[in-house]
Amino acid sequence: MSAADDLPVDESAVATVVDNRGMLCAQGILRLMRTMLAVPPAGVIKVLSSDLAAEHDYPAWCRATGHRFLGHRKQPDPSWGSLIVSFVEKRPPQPAA
């Protein structure tokens, strides 16, 4: 887990935030995918997740789909205990294999 200060992410570059708090990671993936449709290539998306599986699922999804996983951090949240905050950079569409 990266500490916040170690993240190579300029939060001012975040194009949009996907709030997946209260959802299973499987539901959150589709919401991230929806959001990506409207974000231009190289746009950065910040994802808030209460499902701690996000720590593994978003990097794996990025590896499988060609997007760039920039990192994540764990932060306390008054409602959910802790959150995984992930940063994903949209890459141009890859040709189908």
Partner 1 sequence: MPKQILSVLAHTEYGNLEDSDIGLFASAFAPVAGQSLTLLLREDAVNYAVRGQDGTGIKIAGAVVQPGFLIETDLQSVQQANISVYAMREDLQERGIREDELIPGVRVMGRSELGKLVDQFDTVWNW
Query: Binding partner 1 by CB under 8 A: which of 43, 65, 71, 77?
Result: 65
C-alpha 51/C-alpha 57 separation (Å) is 10
| Contact window for partner 1 (CB under 8 A) among 5-13, 22-30, 42-50, 79-87 | 22-30
**Angle subtended at Cα 54 by Cα 75 and Cα 12, rounded to the nearest 5 degrees:** 55
Choice between 6 and 19, CB closer to partner 1: 19
Closest CA to 69 of 3, 8, 20, 10: 8
Residues that bind partner 1 (CB under 8 A): 25-27, 29-30, 33-34, 36-37, 57, 60-61, 64-66, 93-94, 96-97
